[in-house]
């Protein structure tokens, strides 16, 4: 066996270990979040838009109030914009709410009020980027689509000792490809949520909790002693202030 073949075999073992033990950990440690109590793609979509740039604890009461007021795609599509913005008040980034309502109208008019189970259709919704599309398709429909956000890139950077700048497009594409390879057959919904959960609760930005981490045994960054220096990320320009 060549050195390249040995390295490839080790890498494959690390991938299999990661997927297996991450899923086992998630089943016992996952948080009870309101959008996880359903496989309703509309609820999952709402939660993912709200969670952009907003903490989970902040989102929970907003999510509950929002779906109580707008329980279906049609109710959101037909609501006055001011009412939607009022329900959003306090979450900030009001363009998210406007895009969400615009997309709800698309779903009502083009797909009969049912969130589509189709990659191109979901990508075509206003305000839905690669991460949100992957989250909707994988979590709601169990489609083997990657859902790669900052939490996920941090986990993958550390576990596989990836030192490429995660702020750059080619790195994100490579991360999405890697994340897709890790999804066990038939487990896309749970696996992607597990990966997000690990980044949120254990593999945190400044002080990763390596000891209780279910995949620490094969974490390349931990073994190299550089887990706190990853991921590599250049600073983005601050967002412009947004008026309602």
Which residues are known to be catalytic? 48
Q: How far apart are CA 63 and CA 49, in angstroms?
A: 10
What end-to-end distance do the CA atoms of the chain give, in Å? 63
Q: How far apart are CA 190 and CA 1, in angstroms?
A: 36
């Amino acid at each position: 066996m060549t050195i390249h073949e040995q390295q490839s075999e080790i890498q494959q073992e690390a991938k299999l270990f990661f997927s297996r033990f991450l899923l086992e950990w998630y089943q016992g440690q996952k948080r009870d979040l309101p959008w996880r109590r359903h496989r309703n793609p509309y609820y999952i979509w709402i939660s993912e838009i709200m969670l952009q740039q907003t903490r989970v604890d902040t989102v929970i009461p907003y999510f509950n109030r929002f779906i109580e007021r707008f329980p279906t795609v049609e109710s959101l599509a037909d609501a006055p914009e001011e009412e939607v913005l009022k329900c959003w008040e306090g979450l900030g980034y009001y363009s998210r709410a406007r895009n969400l309502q615009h997309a709800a109208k698309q779903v009502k008019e083009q797909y009969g009020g049912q969130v589509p189970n189709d990659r191109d259709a979901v990508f075509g919704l206003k305000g839905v980027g690669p991460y949100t599309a992957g989250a909707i398709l994988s979590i709601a429909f169990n489609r083997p689509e990657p859902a790669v956000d900052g939490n996920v890139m941090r986990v993958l950077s550390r576990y596989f000792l990836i030192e490429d700048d995660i702020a750059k497009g080619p790195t994100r594409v490579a991360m999405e490809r890697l994340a897709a390879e890790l999804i066990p057959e038939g487990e896309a919904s749970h696996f992607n949520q597990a990966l997000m959960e690990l980044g949120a609760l254990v593999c945190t930005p400044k002080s990763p909790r390596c000891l209780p981490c279910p995949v620490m045994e094969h974490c390349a960054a931990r073994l190299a002693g550089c887990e706190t220096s990853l991921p590599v990320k250049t600073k983005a320009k601050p967002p412009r202030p947004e008026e309602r």
